Amino acid sequence: MKITPIISEPIYLRDISDTFKELEGDCERDDQVFVIIRQGTQADIQRVSLLVSERKVEHAKDGTRSETFNDDLGDVRAMQLYSTLCDVGNMTDKTGAPMFRFKQGKEYAKFAGSFSEFKRIYGTLPGVVIGAFNLAVWEGNPQWDMRRLVTEGEE
Domain-embedded: residue 1: no
Domain-embedded: residue 134: yes
Query: What pLDDT, on the 0 to 100 scale, is given for residue 94?
Result: 93
Specify the DSSP class assigned to residue 29: G
Q: Kindly tell me the burial class for residue 41, based on how many C-beta atoms sit within 10 Å of its own C-beta (0-12, 13-18, 19 or more).
A: middle
Report the share of the chain in percent with pLDDT over 70: 89
Alpha carbon distances (Å) from 66 to 14, 49, 50, 63, 97: 44, 22, 20, 10, 45
* Average pLDDT for 51-67: 76
pLDDT exceeds cutoff 80 at 153: no
Tens-digit pLDDT profile for residues 64-77: 877 666 567 888 99
How many domains does the chain contain in total? 1
Domain-embedded: residue 37: yes
Categorize the per-residue pLDDT at 61 as very low, low, confident or very high, splitting at 50, 70 and 90. Answer: confident
Domain-embedded: residue 32: yes
The H-or-E segment that residue 16 falls in is helix 13-16
Domain that holds residue 92: 11-142
Q: Kindly tell me the burial class for residue 4, based on how many C-beta atoms sit within 10 Å of its own C-beta (0-12, 13-18, 19 or more).
A: exposed
* Average pLDDT for 17-26: 97
Query: What pLDDT, on the 0 to 100 scale, is given for residue 19?
Result: 97
Domain-embedded: residue 95: yes
DSSP per-residue string spanning 100-150: --EEE-SSSEEESS-HHHHHHHHTTS-HHHHHHHHHHHHHH-GGG-HHHHH
Query: What pLDDT, on the 0 to 100 scale, is given for residue 150?
Result: 66
Tens-digit pLDDT profile for residues 100-132: 999 999 999 999 999 999 999 999 999 999 999
* Average pLDDT for 56-83: 81
Closest CA relative to residue 13, chosen from 22, 4, 1, 3:
22
Categorize the per-residue pLDDT at 63 as very low, low, confident or very high, splitting at 50, 70 and 90. Answer: confident
